[in-house]
Amino acid sequence: MLDKSVPHISVAMVNHSATKYPEFSLPEGYSFRFYRDGLEEDWCRLQLETGQVPSLESIRMRFNTEFGNEKEKLAKRCVFVEAPDGEIIGTAMLWHGNTFGEMASRIHWVAVLDSHGGKGIAKALLSKILGLNKSDFVYLTTQTGSYQAIYLYQKFGFEKFVDETPENWKTENFQAENEKAWQIIENKIAEYKA
């Protein structure tokens, strides 16, 4: 779940060796399934229930705008996790983005319900998504409140991006905000690990 007690600041993470990653499997009884028509409601619900968006209406609009014309691609790049009882409890995508000025693979919209946390589901989901990837470079964007996920991303070889302002970043003062964000994240990860 997103920790909303910390200031919300977006950050980027990069991985220059993304074809090398740890491989984890789902717990017994859980299974992967790729996107098919009808699963957009489950996808939207997961984003809402994990605190990533303010309302179901806003994420439905975002889904339609961002992915509505990409159903064939979703069927190959959007993965869901189904619990033993049939509930869809997690999702992630290997998508594309141009945050750095050219199209590149990105890990996108990762969400796992807290009620299924601590079982290694997010690890297995990342292994599955990275297994779809064919390029050495993969990036992701996230935020300070997702420090638990950031800690996991670090275990998969992702590093904080601290270079010049990415070409398509949407803030005015990237350097100062980025420094502040990573200070918050590193302090929260230290607390989390303790």
pLDDT at site 76: 97
In a domain, 41, yes or no: yes
Task: List the domain range (segments joined by +) for residue 123.
Answer: 10-193
The CATH number assigned to the domain holding 64 equals 3.40.630.30
- Measured CA distances, 148 to 13, 27, 46, 81, 88 (Å): 14, 20, 17, 19, 21
For residue 4, being part of any structural domain is answered with no
Within-domain flag for 156: yes
In a domain, 163, yes or no: yes
Report the domain count for the chain. 1
The pLDDT value recorded for residue 193 is: 82
Model pTM above 0.85: yes
DSSP codes joined into one string, 23-90:
---PPTT-EEEE--TTTHHHHHHHHHHTTSSS-HHHHHHHHHHHHTT-HHHHHHHEEEEE-TTS-EEE
Alpha-carbon dihedral of residues 129, 133, 137, 138, nearest 10 degrees?
Answer: -30
Tell me what pLDDT residue 135 has: 94
In a domain, 99, yes or no: yes
Euclidean distance between CA atoms 186 and 44, whole angstroms:
30
Give the tens place of pLDDT for each residue, 122-140: 999 999 999 999 999 999 9
